[in-house]
Structures are given as structure tokens and as C-alpha cells.
Amino acid sequence: MNNSPRIRPIVNPCAQPFWDGTRQGKLLIQHCKECQANIFYPRLFCPECHSDQLDWVESAGKGAVYSYTVVYNNSPSAFLQDVPYVVAIVKLDEGVRMCTNIVGCEPEKIQCDMPVEVVFEKLDVEFTLPKFKPAQ
């Protein structure tokens, strides 16, 4: 078994509100005040209209699997203890896509368009990771 420390995200300043939100059990995405676009991953400017008038809004945390892959072998790696694990793109109901993990489900049962909802996994006192599980 691999007992190496978990890899921690590298946070740039414009993404700090996202990570502050996850620690509070909230999934935050950006919203452009100018063109009303929802945005994820965190950015300094809206990718639609290039405005810097961005707000943070709370996502409902619901969506569907857009695409996924199952990792069966990731050696050597800090993730070896997690094998097999699912890396997925989830399309949130707010329209943005997020790279994440699917948990709480056997990898063989995951399908594209499967409804999912956010769950939070505390990595340490500084980081809580948003992951998704099959929706109830």
C-alpha cells in the first residue's frame, strides 16, 4: 500500500474563493455580471464577453456525467491507493463542465448522462475536494 501524502491543489489567487467555498461545503462557480455567463474554471475575465465583472455564485451541485475514464493502474503514483478510480467531466445544471471524480458507485455502473450530485471530501484543514456521486 502507498502511504505517500496526498497531492494538494496549487491555488492561484483568482481561484481562492472556490477553495474557500469547498471548505464550507459549497460548490461555487463564477458568473459574469455583463453577459450572464456561468464560468468554470476560475478566471480573471469572462471567456464569452471578456468582462472582468465576475461574481461567485453557489451551484446547486447537480449535473450529469459528460464523459469519464476508469483508472485501473497508476503506478508509481500518489494515487495508487485509490485504484480503481473514476476521472470524469461533469456537466453541472448551470451549464459549466468540471473535471472531478465519481465516488460511491462501482466504476462498471457509471454511464454518460448519469445524474450526479456533489459530495465533499476533506483532504486536510486547508482543502476539501468536490467529488460527485450518483444522484438520489
pLDDT tens across 73-106, in order?
877 888 888 899 999 999 999 999 999 999 999 9
Q: pLDDT tens digits for 48-76?
A: 999 999 999 999 999 999 999 999 987 78
| Mean predicted lDDT score pLDDT of the chain | 94
Cα–Cα distance, 44 to 39 (Å, whole number): 11
Average pLDDT over residues 15-43: 98
Average pLDDT over residues 17-25: 98
Domains and CATH numbers, the chain: 13-134 (2.40.50.840)
pLDDT above 70: residue 4: no
Which residues, in sequence order, are CB contacts of 20 under 8 Å at separation 6+?
none
Q: What is the pLDDT of residue 5?
A: 67
Which residues, in sequence order, are CB contacts of 34 under 8 Å at separation 6+?
46, 49, 51, 53
Cell, residue 3: 502511504
pTM for the structure as a whole? 0.92
Average pLDDT over residues 25-48: 98
Q: Do strands 97-102 and 85-92 pair parallel, antiparallel, or not at all (unpaired)?
A: antiparallel
